[in-house]
Amino acid sequence: MFLQADKRAMFQPETAMTPTAASAIGRQNPFFTLAPGLALTAGVALCAYALRLIPGVAALSPMILSVLIGALIHNTVGAIGGTGEGVNFSLRRILRLSIVLIGLQITGQQAAEVGVGGIGLIAFGLLATLAATLWMGRLLGVPRGVALLIGVGTSICGASAIVAAKAATGGEEDDAAYAVAGVTLFGTIAMFLYPALAAPLHLSASQFGLWAGASVHEVAQAVFAAGQGGPEALQVGTIAKLTRVAMMAPVIILLGEIYFRLGLAGGAERRKPPFPWFLLGFLAMAALNSLVAIPSEVSAPLRAAATFLLSMAMAAMGLHTNLRHVFSAGLRPLALGLFASAFISGTVLTLIKLGM
């Protein structure tokens, strides 16, 4: 990092703006703040597409290559100065935009495939995982705050749920940072593992999509894993995952009330969890696709754009993956994260196999 700073100083013209002036311009025009990080995530995504031109590498999707390249950069070079805002924008806003565009690939008839039984399966997996994680955390001696955030992140939607739960329950910053790192690690492993297990487990495309959507942690991770099973699996998996996202608000609100009434919130100010507005955009696009026949000249570029934007989001996720944080709190919380991930995966898979 010091070497990078020296290089910047060497090539900086004498008339360059002072940091204060640059900061002021950044506040006036968000483009200057977001552009470096957006360029980084887009560049990683483009590198992923370029790598697929190499014989044998084409078997890997640009999304999986993007997260690998991003993680490699972060854990070797480190955080690149000035890119933080744009990387965060890619991980949040760009990801949500890509999910909205995926809605154009889904119709109401396809959405009905999840059904009432699927919703019940998702809800049961979520609540059972949260309860089992808290129970196992007590047995392992993991602090309650860490166990809660690991359980929430695993059972609902990764980092978004962890941040929301931390705000609602007055959690600690260090607990949240560790939980995000651990959940991201095991969710990333699931992205690779699930597609490899689809054939040995004799799962149909819709079953595989439901398994991925109902048990993989982050939205991007679940969508990626489901997408490896084909278009039908992607459709079912996206709907299943967004159903879990929709359950975030009532679950986090309930946890906040419980912590407040039991006096466990530490006097911290409680906040409402963020409403997943992109879910409405996804539903709107799916409704449009159900009512209007969108010509292929329009739908094909939009599908390509959704894939590229999702690759940018995966690059941002890789750029946020800090392996040092995963091991910073010792092995017990790490073991709890592994348990939670295995529990939700096994529970959902068992219910699917039983036809529930």
Instruction: List the Cα angle 109/112/117 in 5-degree steps.
Output: 165
Closest among 339, 324, 340, 336 to 142, alpha carbons compared:
336
Q: Which residue has the tokens 């100065």?
A: 81
Residue 206 is encoded by which pair of tokens?
């819709």
What's the gap between Cα 143 and its chain centre?
24
Measured distance CA(190)–CA(121) in Å, rounded: 19
Alpha helices by DSSP H, listed for 90-229, are 95-102, 108-111, 115-140, 144-155, 159-169, 173-197, 205-215, 219-227
Residue 255 is encoded by which pair of tokens?
């946890």
Closest among 316, 133, 148 to 219, alpha carbons compared:
316
Measured distance CA(192)–CA(336) in Å, rounded: 20
**Do residues 98 and 317 make contact, with C-beta atoms less than 8 angstroms apart?**
no
Residue 16, pLDDT score: 39
Q: What is the pLDDT along the chain (356 residues), one digit of tens a residue?
A: 333 444 343 333 333 344 444 444 445 577 788 999 999 999 999 999 999 888 877 766 787 788 889 989 988 888 888 888 999 898 888 888 887 888 787 777 666 667 888 889 999 999 999 999 999 999 999 988 889 999 998 998 887 788 778 777 777 767 777 787 788 889 889 988 999 999 999 999 999 999 999 999 887 788 889 988 988 898 889 889 888 887 877 888 788 778 777 766 554 455 555 566 777 787 788 888 888 878 888 888 888 898 899 889 888 888 887 777 666 667 888 899 999 999 999 999 999 998 86
Residue 25, pLDDT score: 46
State pTM to two decimals.
Answer: 0.68
Max distance between CA atoms of the chain, in angstroms, equals 70
